[in-house]
Structure 1
């Protein structure tokens, strides 16, 4: 009976288009994750707590973590229960062929001035994610957390787990001490290239801990201001990656911008191209228009989706951001501003939908084609 039910469920899923969701947050079970830490760190946490600055303390309700009201995960202290809830409420419900977890650990790891502690937490988060999520369901993939405060330690962690087939990218927070084009980060990019892994930046931790304020004018008072500031910082990272010559030095590297929106990329490329023409003597290594580096090297996720007030503007803007090759669908499950795969986008062609909801991510992360996905079920 059970095998019959599983087969029927698989047939039901195949009636819907397969989706790769590129921004998923599943809560961890703290006690199970901390078991992967060395004993001396576990004892320190028992005595002094986690010692990680919190974004939630400034702008969000830390108790609820920004989750949708209807997404109340089981609280029985078992990761297996969380995974089962996730399968039922998201993977099966929307026919998610692959879900990319974007931070099993706390992004606060990227805010502490103690790089050895950050490295230990990243190692524990990555191993916990492999054992409790990735290895338990072939649809679940994850991202490698790294201690970006120390690029050499970060590169060691990438080399340690970078060849695991369930780990598909390296991830850091948007909040940073230096723009990501700075040569300080080169050991991280060298390790990414060694393992053919994209380098992903997820909005979070701007102005927290050792990271710089969320705007050039300083800190802000309200969460809505903070959300608006995130794109400013992502813009700075993107310009830094291009004009510091990261993509010239590392021509195989892919850069993924997660949860910063998408349509703003078009006018920002236009601005970079225009200024590059006048100022290219300052960065002679940038031999092509910045938009060309974006087209070849940069991918961005859809959530939170900005929609123009006039639907007639939508298609031209999608063309302007190279949506058919560079845009990845993301739901940001299970947060309050979750974008449903069924409702997020206006009507578009079947070909464009297939590229955004599946093919672009499959090509980036080396995942099966939709046809191959169905054949494997």
Structure 2
């Protein structure tokens, strides 16, 4: 008879160790993806009418599958470790998880998935004003990305112009998801224009509560498919659109951070993109940016844009069964140079920083992943 084990218990013991590895105290750790979830009434206080009166609770977004079947927990898995609604609560958590500086992301339901685009713009502005008035003044350890309505690129660009000079903001927050046109397409250039002018990194975070409404998701049934695998596929699509549609030729200094889309797919992506491009480059001249610029080809091979333009927040870190294979993957993916630590606190997918010390990573690599890579990438830190 087979002996049943509880996979949740086994997983929890592996990825949520207590305490945090004491060696982390020697580093000024930067957490590049930590979620703040302001109270709804705190956000409403910064909304304009008629939304302030009408939006008495957070608007609903689509979700056809409850993750409680997979996690054994009620809710969405977004607040497994708690909720940080204020600057004081953020600072308390940072001290517990060994982090010195944090770059906050919105921690509520997926904002881009709201039915009504005007609600997205209003919520984005309220969230940004909440940070400006109630979070940034409390501590220089707390930074954040500007929330925008990227479904309306002109509105998104306007919001960047409105708040983008505030030193608390180091990035612009966008999402990639199965319902959205990939953010690398030229329709989003108003957003890239404004971010690029202000030395703001553009963050592409997993979005769309599920990748539903797309052929990718129509046959899915499980949390692993919906979150673990389809998010990786849409991240690949988004990065492909950025490179192949000439985003980085138009904005050679633009920095993009991919969050929660994985990164072990990089070796195959780079080899495959280079091979296909070299053998079939004729349609590059037809994409919007190349038509505008009067150019026929990319300025370099697809794989060569990563060094200059794309980085990855580390969560989720997935380990091969054979430890030596982790070392190989880190080498092939240039992990010590391209990865930036992220915890994803307080979600069920939380990754504490202990893995950096318990794997085949050099001391120089630990410093890069925990601190130096992010400090160089985010020019306004």
Scaled by the length of structure 2, the TM-score of the pair is: 0.83
CA-atom RMSD, angstroms? 2.4
Matches within 5 A, 1:136-151: 136-151=138-153
Matched residue SS, 1:315: helix
- Mapped to 1, the partners of 2:135 and 2:154 lie a distance apart of 27
Question: CA shift at 1:203, angstroms?
Answer: 0.7
Question: In the alignment, which residue of structure 1 is the partner of 2:236?
Answer: 235
Matched residue SS, 1:272: helix
Question: CA shift at 1:140, angstroms?
Answer: 0.8
State the structure with bigger RCO (CA 8 A, min sep 6), 1 or 2: 2
Contact 2:231–2:260 (CA<8 Å) still a contact in 1?
A: no
Distance 1:143 1:215, change over 3 A: farther
1:322-358 superposed Cα distances (whole Å, 9 cap, x missing partner): 2232211111111122111123551421101101111
- Mapped to 2, the partners of 1:241 and 1:33 lie a distance apart of 33
Distance 1:50 1:202, change over 3 A: same
Which of 192, 195, 212 is residue 192 of structure 1 equivalent to? 195
Which of 156, 166, 172 is residue 170 of structure 1 equivalent to? 172
1:195-235 superposed Cα distances (whole Å, 9 cap, x missing partner): 11111111121557xxx635536352221110211110111
Matched residue SS, 1:172: strand
- Mapped to 2, the partners of 1:23 and 1:127 lie a distance apart of 20
Question: In the alignment, which residue of structure 2 is the partner of 1:92?
Answer: 95
Contact 1:262–1:301 (CA<8 Å) still a contact in 2?
A: no
Contact 2:33–2:103 (CA<8 Å) still a contact in 1?
A: yes
Contact 1:215–1:233 (CA<8 Å) still a contact in 2?
A: no
- Mapped to 2, the partners of 1:14 and 1:53 lie a distance apart of 38
Long gaps (5+) in structure 1: 1-11, 369-377
Give the total of aligned pairs: 342
Question: In the alignment, which residue of structure 1 is the partner of 2:129?
Answer: 127
Question: In the alignment, which residue of structure 1 is the partner of 2:289?
Answer: none
Question: CA shift at 1:63, angstroms?
Answer: 5.7
- Mapped to 2, the partners of 1:217 and 1:64 lie a distance apart of 21
Long gaps (5+) in structure 2: 1-21, 285-295
- Mapped to 1, the partners of 2:331 and 2:23 lie a distance apart of 30
- Mapped pair 1:58 → 2:69: no
Matched residue SS, 2:337: helix
Matches within 5 A, 1:73-92: 73=83, 79-80=85-86, 83-88=87-92, 90-92=93-95
Which of 16, 21, 36 is residue 26 of structure 1 equivalent to? 36
Matched residue SS, 1:18: coil
- Mapped to 1, the partners of 2:32 and 2:324 lie a distance apart of 27
Matched residue SS, 1:274: helix
